[in-house]
């Protein structure tokens, strides 16, 4: 019998499991704290649980994060884990430290079916959805590896304050696994993150935006990239199914329940394609009735993309038009360039699947704070 992976169970499911073992339901909370808050990887350490319960758990359950294939740290302090999710599929999680927060960017699918023109994950195609355990496993692994690296032993001292679902994959295409993962991120007996500090990024799956609003509203980022349908159809093929009018309406509906009172629009800056003054002015009109902030992302090139990053001067002029119209606009700093951890570069390592077995040979075991 396969043992159930406890990293994939939210509070209700963990309670169900514990009750099924004829134990009191509060044991589930204790178990959750051991796993998520203290990073326990086995049951022996859980000294406040009866030995008999630990024995039963060891029989039917396990705590298993994806295996680390590579663990690299950038000169700018960001850290990337390349993780094996079986059958030649690898995913990535990236930690980005800043003065006032620590952000973990996690993946939700191996590959992606959306095929956006400028994205290397999209070029790889869709392999499969990640499970809740694989999604939460990235956070579990990163949080406890970072605590160990920083010599942190206190249960309540977190390194990761923000999580963004902006790694590989389209999170809203994998809502069934993503929603329980979000619940665990918010759960005080697990990661206890603020709803405002957990961000789902989507290329614009309209119906699933509504479902997210119903099931677990967190901060929302929408990958816009173009101010009109003709251009967006080319850059984000999904737009042919859900044009901008529908997408803007979905954003407005989402704001009724969102923990933040604005949508973040991501906009990748592509030289000579979507970065003219006229595009910026068109954007101002497009978002006139959607409270929002803009995040301009310098395009990160990858081999064979045939696209180039807008110049710094162009990005400044573009941002200036939005700002002058009252739209708060930031330009994302490119981080982790030297370890291929910047946006859209995450699949670079993975594409050459034939080399995966070689890389397995130099696996670096991960650190687990028990």
Tell me which residues touch ligand SF4 (CB under 6 A). Answer: 112, 114-116, 119, 121-122, 169-170, 203, 223
Cα radius of gyration (the chain)? 21
Q: Does 264 bind ligand SAH (CB under 6 A)?
A: no
Nearer to ligand SF4, 162 or 203 (CB): 203
DSSP string, 121-179: HHHH-EEEEPPHHHHHHHHHHHHHHHHHHTT---TT--S--EEEE-SSS-GGGGHHHHH
Helix, strand, coil percentages (3-state) for the chain, rounded to 5, are 40, 20, 40
Q: Does 118 bind ligand SAH (CB under 6 A)?
A: yes
Shortest Cβ contact with ligand SF4: which residue?
A: 122
Q: Does 145 bind ligand SAH (CB under 6 A)?
A: no
Q: Which residues are registered as beta bridge partners of 220?
A: 200
61 and 300 Cβ atoms separated by less than 8 Å: no
User: Dihedral through CA 339, CA 345, CA 349, CA 352, nearest 10?
Assistant: -150
Nearer to ligand SF4, 5 or 129 (CB): 129
Nearer to ligand SF4, 74 or 203 (CB): 203
Q: Does 166 bind ligand SAH (CB under 6 A)?
A: yes
Can you tell me whether residue 287 is helix, strand or coil? coil
Q: Which residues are registered as beta bridge partners of 164?
A: 105, 199
Give the per-residue contact string, 172-201, with ligand SAH (x = CB under 6 A; - = no): -----------------------------x
Count of residues that interact with ligand SAH, criterion CB under 6 A: 15
Q: Does 343 bind ligand SAH (CB under 6 A)?
A: yes
Is residue 60 annotated as a catalytic residue, yes or no?
Answer: no
The Cα–Cα gap between 139 and 136 comes to: 5
DSSP string, 75-127: TTS-EEEEEE-STT-EEEEEEEE-SS-EEEE--SEEE-SS--TT-HHHHH-EE
- Residue 299 contact among ligand SAH, ligand SF4, none, beta carbon within 5 to 8 Å by kind: ligand SAH
Nearer to ligand SAH, 113 or 368 (CB): 113
Nearer to ligand SAH, 118 or 140 (CB): 118
- Residue 300 contact among ligand SAH, ligand SF4, none, beta carbon within 5 to 8 Å by kind: ligand SAH
User: Dihedral through CA 12, CA 13, CA 17, CA 23, nearest 10?
Assistant: -10
Q: Which two tokens stand for residue 277?
A: 């003054």
Q: Does 124 bind ligand SAH (CB under 6 A)?
A: no
Q: Does 41 bind ligand SAH (CB under 6 A)?
A: no
Is residue 105 annotated as a catalytic residue, yes or no?
Answer: no
Q: Does 344 bind ligand SAH (CB under 6 A)?
A: yes
State the catalytic residues: 92, 343
Task: Note the residues at the interface with ligand SAH (CB under 6 A).
Answer: 118-119, 166, 170, 201-203, 223, 266, 268, 297, 299-300, 343-344
């Amino acid at each position: 019998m396969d043992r159930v992976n406890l990293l994939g169970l939210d509070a209700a499911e963990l309670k169900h499991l514990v009750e099924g073992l004829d134990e009191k339901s509060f044991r589930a909370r204790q178990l959750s704290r051991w796993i998520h808050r203290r990073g326990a990887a086995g049951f022996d350490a859980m000294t406040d649980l009866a030995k008999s319960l630990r024995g039963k758990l060891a029989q039917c359950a396990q705590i298993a994060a994806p295996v680390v294939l590579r663990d690299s740290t950038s000169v700018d302090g960001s850290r990337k884990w390349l993780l094996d999710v079986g059958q030649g599929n690898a995913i990535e999680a990236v930690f980005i430290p800043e003065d006032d927060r620590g952000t973990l960017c996690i993946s939700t699918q191996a590959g992606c079916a959306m095929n956006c023109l400028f994205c290397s994950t999209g070029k790889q195609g869709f392999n499969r959805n990640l499970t809740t355990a694989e999604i939460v496993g990235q956070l579990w692994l990163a949080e406890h590896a970072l605590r160990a690296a920083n010599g942190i032993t206190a249960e309540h001292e977190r390194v990761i304050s923000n999580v963004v679902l902006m790694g590989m994959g389209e999170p809203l295409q994998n809502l069934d696994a993503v929603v329980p993962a979000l619940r665990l991120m918010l759960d005080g007996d697990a990661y206890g993150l603020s709803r405002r500090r957990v961000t789902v990024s989507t290329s614009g799956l309209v119906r699933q935006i509504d479902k997210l609003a119903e099931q677990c509203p967190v901060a929302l980022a929408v990958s816009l990239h173009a101010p009109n349908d003709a251009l967006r159809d080319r850059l984000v093929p999904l737009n042919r199914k859900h044009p901008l009018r529908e997408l803007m309406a979905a954003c407005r509906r989402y704001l009724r329940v969102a923990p933040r009172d604005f949508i973040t629009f991501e906009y990748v800056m592509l030289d000579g394609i979507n970065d003219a003054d006229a595009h910026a002015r068109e954007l101002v009109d497009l978002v006139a009735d959607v409270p929002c902030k803009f995040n301009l992302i310098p395009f990160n090139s990858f081999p064979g993309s045939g696209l180039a990053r807008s110049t710094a001067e162009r990005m400044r002029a573009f941002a200036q038009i939005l700002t002058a119209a009252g739209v708060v606009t930031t330009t994302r700093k490119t981080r982790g360039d030297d370890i291929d951890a910047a946006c859209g570069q995450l699949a670079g390592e993975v594409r050459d699947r034939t080399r995966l077995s070689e890389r397995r040979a130099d696996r670096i075991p991960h650190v687990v704070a028990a």
